[in-house]
Copies of this chain bind each other. A is one copy, B any other.
């Protein structure tokens, strides 16, 4: 089951078999046919480890994400996967479940695998890892952390702008009693979202009230956070969620408690995942173009046909408010 067996059977050298398999077209047709025959007779499958060891280069890109269950990450992954497929690259994913120990392990694994490029799209970023990857030779994409330049591309979503849109929209609707529901990964973007929100609300409606609840990044986490929020005192008139998946969980709990959306409570999400359009009521959210992020990741990691890369730059993504049915004017009188 090795090149040598195939070579022996086709009565050629291993070098020739290698050429046939790699499509180097200096091989005579009759020889090629003999080799192909031997390959299929032996059901030979080239050993990819040997191949990338000998070849040096790797045609594999790596992506590390925090939570594949969140469609946000999955969509980014999908876009990268599509590009990889087109250009004949392999893609390997690692899922950290927001655990920074797992992030370290995944990073080691990727480096050990000698990936051609690595995208790290996580919330639990660690300074040591940033430093180590920055010093490495391979193209790297960071999401919302690190310093662009050299081999480092930074993709930054302008969360501040997105959150400001949400805040200004809700304030315009007359809301003054807010709650923010987030998850435990408080670093980086999440934190930025929250700060942008409070800053803006404080400026636009100085008397507004703001509560904060955190739970897991999942449907259940959203539901549980809402349960905690709603069982203590009077409910807010607007709940701003850190992302759509949590918002859908929140809506479930709000409905179950007999509150109407948006008549009693307005709810917003973030990301504009597909589900946000399909849930009930359809969720007002902020669109983040995951496919653009994915394509940008690929373009930064792998040079295009003419050898160009976007490597080393900072790429800013601008979000957009999407109005749907989960938000409305603040209720006139306290319930």
Contacts and interface: CB of A to CB of B under 8 A. Distances in A.
Contacts of A43: 132, 135-136
Given A93-B93, A278-B249, A280-B280, A53 B45 contact: no
Contacts of A278: 219, 223, 248-249, 252, 279
Contact of A90 (B46, B52, B109, B280): B109
A240 B230 CA distance: 35
Contacts of A290: none
A200 interface: no
A68 B75 CA distance: 10
Nearest to A52: B49
Interface residues of A, number: 45
Interface in A108-150: 108-109, 111-114, 132, 135-136
Contacts of A136: 43
B274 A255 contact: no
A205 interface: no
A135 B44 CA distance: 12
Interface string A68-106: 110100100110010000000010110100000000000
Contact of A112 (B48, B81, B112, B279): B48
A24 interface: no
